[in-house]
Structure 1
Amino acid sequence: MDDRFLGEIDGVTKQMLLGVIEKKEKWDRLKMRVKMLQAVTFLGFLTFFLYIIFYVVAPSKTIASIITMFFESGKHLYILLLLFTSYWGVLFLKKKCDKAEEEFHALRCEIIQKSTDLWKDERAWKERHKLFEMIKEKYDINLYYEHG
Protein backbone atom coordinates (compact mmCIF):
# COMPACT_ATOMS: atom_id res chain seq x y z
CA MET A 1 0.00 0.00 0.00
CA ASP A 2 1.18 3.54 -0.69
CA ASP A 3 3.08 4.83 2.37
CA ARG A 4 2.02 8.44 1.88
CA PHE A 5 -1.58 7.38 2.65
CA LEU A 6 -0.56 5.11 5.52
CA GLY A 7 1.13 7.97 7.31
CA GLU A 8 -2.11 9.94 7.45
CA ILE A 9 -4.28 7.28 9.11
CA ASP A 10 -4.26 5.79 12.60
CA GLY A 11 -3.04 2.30 13.52
CA VAL A 12 -6.46 0.66 13.73
CA THR A 13 -7.50 1.93 10.31
CA LYS A 14 -4.14 0.92 8.87
CA GLN A 15 -4.49 -2.61 10.24
CA MET A 16 -8.03 -2.92 8.92
CA LEU A 17 -6.98 -1.77 5.44
CA LEU A 18 -3.96 -4.08 5.40
CA GLY A 19 -6.21 -6.90 6.63
CA VAL A 20 -8.79 -6.37 3.87
CA ILE A 21 -6.00 -6.31 1.26
CA GLU A 22 -4.53 -9.51 2.68
CA LYS A 23 -7.92 -11.23 2.68
CA LYS A 24 -8.57 -10.14 -0.92
CA GLU A 25 -5.19 -11.53 -2.02
CA LYS A 26 -5.90 -14.82 -0.19
CA TRP A 27 -9.32 -15.05 -1.84
CA ASP A 28 -7.82 -14.35 -5.28
CA ARG A 29 -5.15 -17.04 -4.77
CA LEU A 30 -7.78 -19.59 -3.74
CA LYS A 31 -10.01 -18.69 -6.71
CA MET A 32 -7.07 -19.32 -9.05
CA ARG A 33 -6.26 -22.66 -7.41
CA VAL A 34 -9.91 -23.75 -7.64
CA LYS A 35 -10.05 -22.87 -11.35
CA MET A 36 -6.78 -24.69 -12.05
CA LEU A 37 -7.84 -27.82 -10.17
CA GLN A 38 -11.26 -27.74 -11.83
CA ALA A 39 -9.60 -27.60 -15.26
CA VAL A 40 -7.21 -30.44 -14.44
CA THR A 41 -10.03 -32.55 -13.00
CA PHE A 42 -12.29 -31.89 -15.98
CA LEU A 43 -9.53 -32.77 -18.46
CA GLY A 44 -8.74 -35.89 -16.45
CA PHE A 45 -12.35 -37.07 -16.49
CA LEU A 46 -12.69 -36.22 -20.19
CA THR A 47 -9.51 -38.09 -21.10
CA PHE A 48 -10.51 -41.11 -19.03
CA PHE A 49 -14.01 -41.10 -20.53
CA LEU A 50 -12.61 -41.00 -24.07
CA TYR A 51 -10.14 -43.76 -23.22
CA ILE A 52 -12.98 -45.95 -21.90
CA ILE A 53 -15.10 -45.26 -24.99
CA PHE A 54 -12.35 -46.09 -27.50
CA TYR A 55 -10.44 -48.86 -25.69
CA VAL A 56 -13.08 -50.59 -23.56
CA VAL A 57 -16.53 -49.95 -25.03
CA ALA A 58 -15.75 -49.91 -28.77
CA PRO A 59 -13.95 -53.29 -28.90
CA SER A 60 -16.59 -54.98 -26.74
CA LYS A 61 -19.74 -56.63 -28.04
CA THR A 62 -21.81 -56.89 -24.86
CA ILE A 63 -22.29 -55.05 -21.61
CA ALA A 64 -20.85 -57.99 -19.71
CA SER A 65 -17.64 -57.84 -21.77
CA ILE A 66 -17.41 -54.06 -21.16
CA ILE A 67 -17.69 -54.61 -17.40
CA THR A 68 -15.19 -57.45 -17.53
CA MET A 69 -12.67 -55.41 -19.53
CA PHE A 70 -13.08 -52.43 -17.21
CA PHE A 71 -12.52 -54.39 -13.98
CA GLU A 72 -9.90 -56.68 -15.49
CA SER A 73 -7.36 -53.87 -15.38
CA GLY A 74 -6.62 -52.54 -11.91
CA LYS A 75 -5.34 -49.29 -13.36
CA HIS A 76 -8.92 -48.23 -14.21
CA LEU A 77 -9.89 -48.24 -10.55
CA TYR A 78 -6.72 -46.38 -9.56
CA ILE A 79 -7.41 -43.74 -12.20
CA LEU A 80 -11.01 -43.39 -10.96
CA LEU A 81 -9.74 -43.09 -7.40
CA LEU A 82 -7.31 -40.37 -8.48
CA LEU A 83 -10.01 -38.51 -10.42
CA PHE A 84 -12.52 -38.61 -7.58
CA THR A 85 -9.80 -37.51 -5.14
CA SER A 86 -9.13 -34.59 -7.45
CA TYR A 87 -12.87 -33.82 -7.53
CA TRP A 88 -12.98 -33.93 -3.73
CA GLY A 89 -10.00 -31.54 -3.72
CA VAL A 90 -11.99 -29.12 -5.88
CA LEU A 91 -14.90 -29.24 -3.42
CA PHE A 92 -12.55 -28.76 -0.46
CA LEU A 93 -10.75 -25.80 -2.06
CA LYS A 94 -14.06 -24.29 -3.16
CA LYS A 95 -15.28 -24.38 0.44
CA LYS A 96 -12.06 -22.66 1.60
CA CYS A 97 -12.46 -20.11 -1.20
CA ASP A 98 -16.04 -19.36 -0.17
CA LYS A 99 -14.93 -18.90 3.45
CA ALA A 100 -12.13 -16.54 2.36
CA GLU A 101 -14.64 -14.57 0.29
CA GLU A 102 -17.00 -14.24 3.26
CA GLU A 103 -14.15 -13.07 5.52
CA PHE A 104 -13.04 -10.52 2.92
CA HIS A 105 -16.53 -9.13 2.41
CA ALA A 106 -17.22 -9.02 6.16
CA LEU A 107 -14.09 -6.95 6.81
CA ARG A 108 -14.74 -4.75 3.77
CA CYS A 109 -18.29 -4.06 4.96
CA GLU A 110 -17.03 -3.37 8.48
CA ILE A 111 -14.64 -0.73 7.11
CA ILE A 112 -17.49 0.85 5.13
CA GLN A 113 -19.86 0.85 8.11
CA LYS A 114 -17.24 2.30 10.46
CA SER A 115 -15.89 4.89 8.01
CA THR A 116 -17.16 7.80 10.09
CA ASP A 117 -15.33 6.42 13.15
CA LEU A 118 -12.13 5.59 11.27
CA TRP A 119 -11.82 9.00 9.59
CA LYS A 120 -12.95 11.28 12.40
CA ASP A 121 -11.61 14.69 11.51
CA GLU A 122 -12.94 16.71 8.59
CA ARG A 123 -9.69 16.81 6.60
CA ALA A 124 -9.17 13.04 6.83
CA TRP A 125 -12.79 12.42 5.82
CA LYS A 126 -12.40 14.59 2.72
CA GLU A 127 -9.08 12.93 1.77
CA ARG A 128 -10.20 9.32 2.28
CA HIS A 129 -11.58 9.09 -1.26
CA LYS A 130 -8.00 9.30 -2.60
CA LEU A 131 -7.07 6.28 -0.50
CA PHE A 132 -10.24 4.46 -1.59
CA GLU A 133 -9.45 5.17 -5.25
CA MET A 134 -5.89 3.89 -4.86
CA ILE A 135 -7.14 0.71 -3.18
CA LYS A 136 -9.79 0.26 -5.90
CA GLU A 137 -7.24 0.66 -8.69
CA LYS A 138 -4.41 -1.36 -7.15
CA TYR A 139 -6.31 -4.14 -5.36
CA ASP A 140 -9.80 -4.03 -6.92
CA ILE A 141 -11.43 -3.47 -3.53
CA ASN A 142 -14.48 -1.20 -3.41
CA LEU A 143 -14.68 0.63 -0.07
CA TYR A 144 -17.44 3.03 -1.12
CA TYR A 145 -20.46 0.72 -1.09
CA GLU A 146 -21.20 -2.56 0.64
CA HIS A 147 -22.76 -4.13 -2.46
CA GLY A 148 -20.14 -3.19 -5.02
Structure 2
Amino acid sequence: MDWLHENIDEVTKQMVLAVIEKKQKFERLKTRVTALQIITFIGFCSFFIYVALFIVYPNYLIISSIIDDFLNRPEHLYILLVLFSMYWCILFYQKKCDKAEEEFDALRCEIIQKSNDLWKEEKEWKERYKLFEWMKQQYDINLYYENK
Protein backbone atom coordinates (compact mmCIF):
# COMPACT_ATOMS: atom_id res chain seq x y z
CA MET A 1 0.00 0.00 0.00
CA ASP A 2 1.52 3.24 -1.15
CA TRP A 3 0.44 5.35 1.85
CA LEU A 4 2.34 3.18 4.31
CA HIS A 5 5.58 5.08 4.27
CA GLU A 6 8.10 5.64 7.00
CA ASN A 7 6.48 8.69 8.63
CA ILE A 8 3.53 6.63 9.91
CA ASP A 9 4.24 4.66 13.08
CA GLU A 10 3.23 1.04 13.65
CA VAL A 11 0.25 1.83 15.91
CA THR A 12 -1.25 4.14 13.31
CA LYS A 13 -0.68 1.57 10.56
CA GLN A 14 -2.46 -1.09 12.60
CA MET A 15 -5.40 1.20 13.34
CA VAL A 16 -5.74 2.20 9.70
CA LEU A 17 -5.53 -1.42 8.54
CA ALA A 18 -8.13 -2.40 11.16
CA VAL A 19 -10.54 0.32 10.01
CA ILE A 20 -10.11 -0.81 6.38
CA GLU A 21 -10.79 -4.41 7.41
CA LYS A 22 -13.91 -3.41 9.38
CA LYS A 23 -15.19 -1.37 6.44
CA GLN A 24 -14.70 -4.32 4.05
CA LYS A 25 -16.47 -6.68 6.47
CA PHE A 26 -19.37 -4.23 6.76
CA GLU A 27 -19.62 -3.88 2.97
CA ARG A 28 -19.60 -7.69 2.50
CA LEU A 29 -22.39 -8.13 5.03
CA LYS A 30 -24.40 -5.28 3.52
CA THR A 31 -24.12 -6.90 0.07
CA ARG A 32 -25.18 -10.27 1.49
CA VAL A 33 -28.22 -8.74 3.22
CA THR A 34 -29.28 -6.93 0.04
CA ALA A 35 -28.93 -10.09 -2.07
CA LEU A 36 -30.95 -12.12 0.44
CA GLN A 37 -33.63 -9.44 0.54
CA ILE A 38 -33.97 -9.43 -3.24
CA ILE A 39 -34.05 -13.23 -3.52
CA THR A 40 -36.55 -13.57 -0.68
CA PHE A 41 -38.78 -10.85 -2.08
CA ILE A 42 -38.81 -12.51 -5.51
CA GLY A 43 -39.53 -15.86 -3.83
CA PHE A 44 -42.44 -14.53 -1.80
CA CYS A 45 -43.89 -12.71 -4.81
CA SER A 46 -43.58 -15.77 -7.04
CA PHE A 47 -45.17 -18.02 -4.45
CA PHE A 48 -47.98 -15.52 -3.87
CA ILE A 49 -48.67 -15.31 -7.62
CA TYR A 50 -48.61 -19.12 -7.89
CA VAL A 51 -51.06 -19.49 -4.99
CA ALA A 52 -53.33 -16.77 -6.38
CA LEU A 53 -53.42 -18.20 -9.92
CA PHE A 54 -53.48 -21.93 -9.27
CA ILE A 55 -55.21 -22.30 -5.90
CA VAL A 56 -57.32 -19.24 -5.11
CA TYR A 57 -58.58 -18.37 -8.59
CA PRO A 58 -59.89 -21.88 -9.54
CA ASN A 59 -61.65 -22.21 -6.15
CA TYR A 60 -62.91 -18.66 -5.99
CA LEU A 61 -65.12 -17.99 -2.90
CA ILE A 62 -64.86 -21.56 -1.58
CA ILE A 63 -62.51 -21.05 1.34
CA SER A 64 -62.52 -24.66 2.50
CA SER A 65 -61.50 -25.78 -0.98
CA ILE A 66 -58.70 -23.20 -1.12
CA ILE A 67 -57.31 -24.35 2.24
CA ASP A 68 -57.71 -28.01 1.30
CA ASP A 69 -55.91 -27.55 -2.04
CA PHE A 70 -53.09 -25.63 -0.36
CA LEU A 71 -52.53 -28.10 2.47
CA ASN A 72 -52.87 -31.26 0.32
CA ARG A 73 -49.57 -30.50 -1.41
CA PRO A 74 -46.61 -30.75 0.98
CA GLU A 75 -44.42 -28.76 -1.44
CA HIS A 76 -46.31 -25.64 -0.39
CA LEU A 77 -45.27 -26.06 3.22
CA TYR A 78 -41.65 -26.77 2.22
CA ILE A 79 -41.60 -23.65 0.08
CA LEU A 80 -42.97 -21.61 2.98
CA LEU A 81 -40.37 -23.14 5.27
CA VAL A 82 -37.59 -22.14 2.87
CA LEU A 83 -38.96 -18.62 2.42
CA PHE A 84 -39.33 -18.00 6.14
CA SER A 85 -35.87 -19.45 6.73
CA MET A 86 -34.51 -16.96 4.22
CA TYR A 87 -36.36 -14.20 6.05
CA TRP A 88 -34.74 -15.34 9.30
CA CYS A 89 -31.33 -15.27 7.56
CA ILE A 90 -32.00 -11.67 6.54
CA LEU A 91 -32.69 -10.73 10.16
CA PHE A 92 -29.60 -12.64 11.34
CA TYR A 93 -27.25 -11.03 8.81
CA GLN A 94 -28.85 -7.62 9.32
CA LYS A 95 -27.90 -7.79 13.01
CA LYS A 96 -24.35 -8.80 12.08
CA CYS A 97 -24.24 -5.98 9.53
CA ASP A 98 -25.41 -3.43 12.10
CA LYS A 99 -22.79 -4.66 14.58
CA ALA A 100 -20.05 -4.50 11.93
CA GLU A 101 -21.10 -0.95 11.04
CA GLU A 102 -20.98 0.09 14.71
CA GLU A 103 -17.50 -1.44 15.13
CA PHE A 104 -16.27 0.25 11.96
CA ASP A 105 -17.68 3.62 12.97
CA ALA A 106 -16.32 3.35 16.51
CA LEU A 107 -12.80 2.63 15.25
CA ARG A 108 -13.05 5.39 12.64
CA CYS A 109 -14.13 7.87 15.31
CA GLU A 110 -11.33 6.68 17.61
CA ILE A 111 -8.77 7.47 14.90
CA ILE A 112 -10.29 10.92 14.46
CA GLN A 113 -10.33 11.60 18.21
CA LYS A 114 -6.75 10.39 18.69
CA SER A 115 -5.33 12.26 15.70
CA ASN A 116 -3.23 14.49 17.95
CA ASP A 117 -1.62 11.44 19.58
CA LEU A 118 -1.15 9.47 16.36
CA TRP A 119 0.52 12.32 14.46
CA LYS A 120 2.56 14.09 17.13
CA GLU A 121 5.20 15.82 15.07
CA GLU A 122 4.48 18.83 12.88
CA LYS A 123 5.63 17.07 9.69
CA GLU A 124 3.45 14.01 10.41
CA TRP A 125 0.47 16.25 11.18
CA LYS A 126 0.77 17.95 7.79
CA GLU A 127 1.27 14.64 5.95
CA ARG A 128 -1.78 12.97 7.50
CA TYR A 129 -4.08 14.65 5.01
CA LYS A 130 -2.53 12.57 2.22
CA LEU A 131 -3.53 9.45 4.13
CA PHE A 132 -7.02 10.84 4.80
CA GLU A 133 -7.48 11.70 1.13
CA TRP A 134 -6.25 8.27 0.03
CA MET A 135 -8.60 6.53 2.49
CA LYS A 136 -11.52 8.59 1.21
CA GLN A 137 -10.76 7.83 -2.44
CA GLN A 138 -9.81 4.15 -2.11
CA TYR A 139 -12.20 2.92 0.58
CA ASP A 140 -14.76 5.73 1.05
CA ILE A 141 -13.67 6.09 4.67
CA ASN A 142 -14.00 9.60 6.06
CA LEU A 143 -11.30 10.35 8.63
CA TYR A 144 -11.87 14.11 8.56
CA TYR A 145 -15.06 14.32 10.64
CA GLU A 146 -16.84 12.00 13.05
CA ASN A 147 -20.27 12.38 11.51
CA LYS A 148 -20.85 10.36 8.36
Q: What TM-score do the two structures reach when normalised by structure 1?
A: 0.97
Consecutive unaligned residues in structure 2, runs of 5 or more: none
1:24 maps to what in 2? 23
2 CA distance for matches of 1:94 and 1:46? 21
Task: Measure how far apart 1:8 and its partner are.
Answer: 1.8
Task: Measure how far apart 1:66 and its partner are.
Answer: 0.4
Q: What TM-score do the two structures reach when normalised by structure 2?
A: 0.97
Task: Measure how far apart 1:27 and its partner are.
Answer: 0.3
Q: Deviations over 1:104-139 (max 9, x none)?
A: 000000000000000000000011001100010000
Residues 37 and 86 in structure 1, CA contact (< 8 A), matched pair in contact too: yes
Consecutive unaligned residues in structure 1, runs of 5 or more: none
Residues 4 and 13 in structure 2, CA contact (< 8 A), matched pair in contact too: no
Task: Measure how far apart 1:5 and its partner are.
Answer: 3.4
1:53 maps to what in 2? 52
Q: Percent of counterpart pairs with the same letter?
A: 62
Residues 6 and 14 in structure 1, CA contact (< 8 A), matched pair in contact too: no
Task: Measure how far apart 1:29 and its partner are.
Answer: 0.5
Aligned length: 147
Secondary structure, aligned partner of 1:146: coil
Residues 70 and 76 in structure 2, CA contact (< 8 A), matched pair in contact too: yes
1 CA distance for matches of 2:51 and 2:135? 51
Q: Deviations over 1:42-93 (max 9, x none)?
A: 0000000000000000011401100000001000000000000000000000
Secondary structure, aligned partner of 1:5: coil
Equivalence map 1:24-103=2 (5 Å): 24-61=23-60, 62-103=62-103
2:136 maps to what in 1? 136
Secondary structure, aligned partner of 1:93: helix
2 CA distance for matches of 1:129 and 1:10? 15
2:11 maps to what in 1? 12
| Superposed structure 1 runs of 4+ greater than 6 Å apart | none
2:121 maps to what in 1? 121
